[in-house]
Amino acid sequence: MLKLNFPHFEFKLKNIDSKTFIFDFIRNNYYLLTPEEWVRQHVLHLLISKKISKSHIAVERQLKVNNLIKRFDLVVFDKYGEHLILIECRYLSVLVG
């Protein structure tokens, strides 16, 4: 994966059947290392480094917004359980030629 413009974090990686998996410390499991998952894990580590509690973060959460069900990569809740930050993770590959 490419280096992202985030602080350096040590990630737990493992290979299974020639595929790389990354450990998600919020969901407490390994997930296939896709470009989107790479970005999501960087954002999660950044949130924790900013002193946001793990218990206030949800991964791939559905919320009702204006009577529509929407899915967000990350949701940060305040101490009252109200959503405070909605995060959608994207990895854009740019070819330079």
What are the tens digits of pLDDT across the range 31-90? 999 999 999 999 999 999 999 999 999 999 998 888 999 999 999 999 999 999 999 998
Please state the pTM of the whole predicted model.
0.85
Note the helical H segments in the chain: 35-49
Please tell me the distance from the alpha carbon of residue 60 to that of residue 75, in angstroms, as a whole number. Answer: 8
d(CA 90, CA 80): 28
